[in-house]
Structure 1
Amino acid sequence: METAHPSTSGGLRSLPPGQHRRRDFPRFGQPGLRPPAVPDHPALAVTGAVEHELRVPLTELDRLVPRIDLVADLHCVTTWTATDLHWSGVSLRRFWEQVVVPRCRPAGAVAVIARGRDGVRAVLDLRDALADDVMLADRLDGAPLDNLHGAPLRLVSPRQYGYKNIKHLCGIEVCDTVPALGYSGSEHLRARVAQEERHPRIAGRLLRLPYRATIPLIAWLNRRSAASD
């Protein structure tokens, strides 16, 4: 078992530009979107620009790749940060190198699309997806992920804004060209927190107050949708 402490970890250190701490870790996402039910036999599919597609049952993930623990912050694009979250799962880079490359044989990959069972997706530049601290997590703070935070599997990319950290992860699509971005046109390809890349066309600092103003409404909508599940 390995434990990583990425540079984004909270503690007494200052937060990235424009972020403020929250004591809790709310479910955020597309407002009003209900968490999907966890399937009886969940799996992760690898598709796209590969010679062979692959479907890996989640029960086999940590048999294929060593399990790791990660202590990291999660930075929502709306300016809140949940600090020192304890994740457990497998490294996406190691999964790519030890499983995807030999079994799927991707050619010319430059990006991946992470897909959730709730229909949400995010495009990740391959340089960001294969960073040392990016992982496929199935546990949070010592317990299996619950449905609010992405059960049964979630992408965790601490150096990118939360909209890249796809919940209910069920697929990784390999791309040999950069695909069109989603998130209603406001998804930045890199979404790096340190560079405050909140939006592809608008400077991040200009969005701090408008995005922060949306927090109460988004939180309420997500609480309501979760309660009706």
Structure 2
Amino acid sequence: MSKNKILIVEDETIVALEIQKALESFDYEVTDIATDYESALESVKKNSPNLILMDINLGGDKDGIDIAKEIQNSYTIPIIFTTAYSDEETINRAIRTNPISYLIKPFKREELKSNILLGLYKSKNSDKTKIDKKLLNLGYQYFYDEELDKLYYKELYIKLGLKERKLLRILIEEKGKIVSFEKIEYKIWNTHIVSSSTLRTLIYRLRSKLHYDLIETIPNVGCRIYIKG
């Protein structure tokens, strides 16, 4: 049985080699380590990877989001963004490309592995599958088990962090109403004060694990989730 092939797009050598080591320990084949726009596109054309790990902040005129857009014009390859930054403009640009996920460096191996599994599953199971009718249909083939507090894409369980689960539950309970950032902060962190960057990153981490249209963020106000039924 052939191994799934993964392309790493990362311009920091030490980081790229660490990711490569992790992927090989998961029994994936690393097709290449590309460092910029041209080498990434050439590698995709030459090696046909099953998934791409894309660093956003690359040197040069075009960043990882630009590369992802160009790849999506010709290929259907799941992309996982990685970055050390979480400013709102960058995250919004990334989310609009509908990536599998958005990982903030440094990330844990377990988190990397679970997101890769989700990406490969999505790329190989594009047809509709049967799902328990008791689950809440969020749309775009995402389902939520209200009793067990679990999220699914089709029949695949999507692992969420504790705060991601809390955020999703808060939004679902409001049934499409806008939930203020203040309310989210209080319900998740209680009386602890957190930075706007921390809250923003949490929201976009959850958005990246869903279809990007499911959660709407209203600047300086709050966010809401659209529920199909």
Task: Flag the structure with larger Rg.
Answer: 2
> Would the TM-score normalized by the shorter structure come out above 0.5?
no
Structure scoring higher RCO (CA < 8 A, sep ≥ 6) equals: 1
TM-score, normalised to structure 2's length? 0.28
